[in-house]
């Protein structure tokens, strides 16, 4: 074969870019380990990747502090701003809109920023949001900060989650980072309730605590992902000398379209829609419920959400391995049944102690579901669309986490906060049904 023929043959794929994209690209980081095996530095748990996982866990810890503090602070928000429970729905609505914006921009943002850049941007936006809260801003601005915070959290969580899901032993690592989220949820009610009880109307100073954690999160992701804290060039040439700026934009649009065509995206998202709806509704309204329905005293029952999230934390730490060993699908259905039984105890036994204990144990069995779903998602979605697909899953999850607490607040303004209980029962039943609809993935042996 002549040199000219070889050159022409090498150039032939340029006329069929779709075929090029379907071909696996060998990673340059693969290397032998001396025993005939291949080590891939991008997916192996190297020292650098371990540090990155720890940084990702700080991001989730930060997010947990934000999410769980709202439930403990809700009674203070209602009284400081002199608004009804229906106005709390605005906070959850702003949170959802933030996640929606992030989902719409996530893939296109990848055209300009590498992984470290996106994580740093998300962390910085969250710090700004919390810095706008601590001086008791007008209620409208206070609501807007939840929109900003959700945008930053969406960039942080979806990309950090996709990175950790790509590392070997992902089921354990996902369990770890989501346990750190639960740890943040455990700590936040203690800190928020303590600050609010001591400072009274100056309770927004609690957000200085979140500004501090946010600064740590920003520093951690910037340093550990420093190899990818960079801008992508506006235009680059591919192997054939063609400018790919337009191609990258089209690929981003194509990734979104291909993701939206996958039924598995919607089925897994439906599970998360009900799951986060269950957790955020329970954690967000349990304090106000115990005050109104069980005659609880505000400083005392303010710590109850910590019991819920403490159970979630232990569940994610202790149940990750048994869930993986005995089958993720089977064990999650068992957890749904146990959560439903404990919710009925919480509803039907009119005792403060029984309520606190049952909701803590409920959290324990609820805990491993989030990481399990992410583990399933990492197998359902191709690697090149994982950030996009998981971004949409997170948005649907936050839709549930915003919609159902908001509906609870609106209905509670008319019928009383007792409506939380039947709403939770319905959500848990829907949670189990939606999990049964999630497509099966190949077993590890296959």
pLDDT band for position 109 (cuts 50, 70, 90) = confident
DSSP 319: S
Mean pLDDT computed over 220-228 = 93
Tell me how far apart the terminal alpha carbons of the chain are, to the nearest angstrom: 42
DSSP state of 85: H
DSSP-assigned states of every residue in 230-267: SBPPS--B-TTS-B-HHHHHHHHHHHHHHHHT-HHHHH
Split at pLDDT 50, 70, 90, the class of 253 is: confident
**Rounded Cα–Cα distance for residues 76 and 58 (Å):** 27
Per-residue pLDDT reduced to its tens digit, 6-19: 444 444 444 443 33
pLDDT, average across residues 49-74: 92
Q: How confident is the model at residue 111 (pLDDT cuts 50, 70, 90)?
A: confident
| pLDDT for position 232 | 64
pLDDT reading at 248 higher than 80: no
- 214 pLDDT band (50/70/90 cuts)? very high
pLDDT of residue 24: 40
How far is Cα 121 from Cα 299, in angstroms, rounded to an integer? Answer: 36
pLDDT at 358 over 50: yes
Least confident of 73-82, 180-189, 322-331, 391-400: 391-400
- Out of 33-37, 122-126, 381-385, the most confident range is 122-126
Rounded Cα gap, residues 82 and 165, in angstroms: 44
The pTM score is 0.78
Q: Each residue of 161-212: pLDDT tens digit?
A: 889 988 887 878 988 998 999 899 889 988 998 999 899 889 999 999 999 9
- How far does CA 403 lie from the centroid of its chain? 16
The pLDDT value recorded for residue 430 is 96
Q: What is the mean pLDDT of residues 262-287?
A: 91
Mean pLDDT of 39-58: 85
Segment among 30-44, 84-98, 363-377, 400-414 with least mean pLDDT? 30-44
> What is the model's pLDDT at position 359?
92
Contacts for 230 with CB less than 8 Å, ≥ 6 apart: 113, 114, 116, 117
pLDDT above 80: residue 314: yes
Per-residue pLDDT at 274 exceeds 60: yes
The 10 Å CB-count burial string (b at 16+, else e) for 226-258 is eebbeeeeeeeeeeeeeebeebbeebbeebbee
Q: Are 31 and 39 in contact (CB under 8 A)?
A: yes
Distance between CA 280 and CA 354 in Å, rounded?
A: 20
25 has pLDDT over 60 = no
**Taking a C-beta distance cutoff of 8 angstroms, is the pair 354, 293 a contact?**
no
Per-residue model confidence (pLDDT) at position 32: 52
- How far is 164 from 178, CA to CA, in rounded Å? 11
Q: Who wins on pLDDT, 103 or 95?
A: 95
| Bridging pattern class, strands 30-32 and 38-40 | antiparallel
Percent of the chain with pLDDT over 90: 41
The pLDDT of residue 266 is 92
> pLDDT digit string (tens) for 392-446?
887 788 778 878 988 888 888 888 888 999 999 999 999 999 999 999 876 544 4
Determine the angle formed by the axes of helices 47-80 and 170-199, rounding to 10 degrees. Answer: 30
pLDDT of amino acid 380: 87
Domains belonging to the chain, first-starting first, are: 46-230+243-437 (1.20.1250.20)
More confident residue, 206 or 284: 206
CB 342 within 8 A of CB 362: yes
Q: Which residue has the higher pLDDT, 310 or 255?
A: 310
């Amino acid at each position: 074969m002549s040199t000219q023929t070889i050159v022409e043959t090498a150039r032939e794929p340029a006329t069929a870019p779709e075929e090029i994209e379907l071909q696996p690209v060998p990673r340059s980081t693969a290397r032998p380990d001396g025993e005939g095996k291949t080590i891939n530095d991008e997916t192996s748990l190297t020292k650098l990747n371990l540090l990155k996982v720890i940084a990702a866990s700080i991001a989730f810890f930060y997010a947990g502090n934000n999410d769980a503090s709202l439930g403990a602070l809700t009674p203070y928000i209602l009284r400081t701003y002199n608004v009804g429970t229906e106005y709390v729905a605005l906070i959850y609505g702003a949170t959802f809109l933030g996640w929606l914006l992030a989902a719409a921009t996530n893939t296109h943002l990848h055209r300009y920023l590498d992984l470290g850049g996106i994580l740093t941007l998300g962390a910085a936006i969250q710090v700004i949001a919390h810095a706008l809260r601590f001086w008791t801003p007008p209620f409208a601005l206070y609501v807007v900060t939840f929109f900003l915070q959700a945008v930053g959290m969406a960039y942080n969580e979806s990309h950090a989650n996709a990175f950790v899901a790509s590392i070997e032993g992902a089921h354990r690592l996902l369990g770890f980072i989501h346990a750190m989220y639960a740890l943040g949820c455990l700590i936040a009610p203690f800190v928020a309730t303590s600050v609010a009880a001591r400072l009274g109307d100056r309770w927004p100073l609690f957000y200085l605590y979140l500004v501090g954690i946010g600064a740590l999160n920003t520093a951690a992701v910037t340093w550990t992902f420093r190899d990818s804290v960079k801008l992508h060039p506006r235009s680059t040439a591919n192997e054939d000398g063609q400018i790919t700026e337009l191609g990258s934009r089209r690929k981003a649009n194509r990734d979104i379209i291909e993701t939206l065509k996958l039924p598995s995206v919607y089925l897994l998202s439906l599970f998360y829609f009900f799951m986060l709806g269950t957790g955020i509704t329970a954690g967000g309204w349990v304090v106000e419920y115990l005050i109104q329905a069980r005659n609880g005293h505000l400083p005392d029952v303010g710590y109850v959400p910590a019991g819920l999230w403490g159970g979630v934390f232990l569940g994610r730490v202790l149940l990750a391995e048994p869930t993986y060993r005995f089958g993720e699908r089977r064990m999650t259905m068992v957890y749904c049944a146990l959560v439903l039984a404990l919710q009925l105890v919480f509803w039907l036994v009119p005792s403060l102690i029984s309520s606190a204990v049952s909701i803590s144990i409920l959290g324990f069995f609820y805990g491993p579901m989030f990481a399990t779903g992410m583990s399933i998602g990492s197998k359902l979605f191709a690697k090149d669309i994982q950030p996009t697909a998981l971004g949409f899953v997170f948005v649907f999850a936050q839709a549930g986490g915003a919609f159902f607490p908001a509906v609870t607040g609106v209905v509670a303004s008319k019928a009383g906060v007792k409506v939380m209980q039947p709403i939770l029962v319905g959500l848990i039943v829907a949670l189990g049904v939606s999990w049964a609809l999630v497509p099966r993935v190949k077993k590890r042996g296959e």
